[in-house]
Amino acid sequence: MERIALAKGHEIVVTIDNEQEWNERLDLLKKADVAIEFSQPNQAFTNINRCFDLHLPIVVGTTAWYDHLDEVKQRCLKESQSLFYAPNFSIGMNMVFMMNKQLARFAEQYGYSMTVAETHHIHKLDKPSGTAAKLANDIIAESSRYEYWSINEPYPAEALPIEVTREGEVFGIHSVTAQSNADRITLTHEAFSREGLAQGALAAAQFLIGKTGVFTMDELMG
């Protein structure tokens, strides 16, 4: 992230990685135009509120904190704050999100069954990934067959399967499969590095400056 930001001509006024640095570097953070938050699920909610306390626009790439999303949105709108959040900032992955919605509509119309699969490095804490959960939720929104998603076999008939794999240092592979008796359709996105996430997050940060409200990649990508 830092390398790409500097290459694009941005200035990084401060980085904060732990509680001590929050206390020591708060004055530097106040000089920023926007904060980019990639931390841990149990820290994201606190970090968002800290930025709101400073009235500092924030881009959030951490996932698995969305049980607080309604609360965060309410505060953001009530106080005219600025929030941009996304389960995945990769432009390529967001293209797949769009294609997935269209595939889900046709799958519903023509009776295809669907599954989601994701593979990540062994250090990833959340299961499934926020990206896989979004893919699944978008399918469910178009489906009369699936009521919820599940990562646990055996899968009930009303559950959309998400197959989760943790191995090696894989940056991220997400696939959606639609299958009938006649054929199989697969959408796959494979990240070769974290560069795509960094580029998307920087684009979101530039987009957010001067705006108030709650935004996602849908707004950024039109």
Catalytic machinery residues: 120, 124
Q: Which residue has the tokens 């359709």?
A: 185
Q: CA–CA separation, 216 vs 84, rounded Å?
A: 6
Q: CA–CA separation, 31 vs 39, rounded Å?
A: 21
Q: CA–CA separation, 5 vs 14, rounded Å?
A: 13
Q: CA–CA separation, 132 vs 37, rounded Å?
A: 20
Do 142 and 105 contact (CB within 8 A), yes or no?
Answer: yes
Q: CA–CA separation, 25 vs 27, rounded Å?
A: 6
